[in-house]
Each structure stands twice: as C-alpha cells, then as structure tokens.
Amino acid sequence: MMNFTNNLSEKIEIYVSGRNFKDMDVFSKSDPYVKVSYKRDFSQKNYSVLGRTETKKNDLNPDYSKVFGIDYVF
C-alpha cells in the first residue's frame, strides 16, 4: 500500500515593486516600504509576518532589493 502524504512543496522567491504610489508626504515624496504577511494555515484568522523591505526614500515607483523566500505547499 502506498502512502500519499502531501509532500508537494517548492521553495519560491517573492520580488516586490510598486508603481504610482500616492504621495502622502507634505514637503517631499513619500518613503514607502512593504510588509509581507501570509497565512500559515487558512483555518486561522491571524497572519504571520514574513518580513519587510527596505525603505525607499522619496520614491513613488520603488523596486525593492529584498527577496522573500517561502516554502509553497501545493
């Protein structure tokens, strides 16, 4: 008899960028960053924080250098 446990997973990398952010600062352009969260288990309400990008000073179209790695389970 074969054991069919769900071992189908793959390591993925998430790259983040943004375009046309709204300028929320008064005297200069905004300094955006992104916080990445995910649900470990869809039956729960809470999210786990995977991490945060660097802050991009005075940039409304940022390309972040931080790469997030996570195991994706199919």
Is the pLDDT at 23 greater than 80? The verdict is yes
Q: Which amino acid does the sequence have at 2?
A: M
The mean predicted confidence, pLDDT, of the chain is: 90
In this structure, what token pair is assigned to residue 46?
């809470």
pTM of the model as a whole: 0.77
What are the extents of the domains in the chain?
Answer: 9-73
- Give the span between the Cα atoms of 16 and 9, in whole angstroms: 22
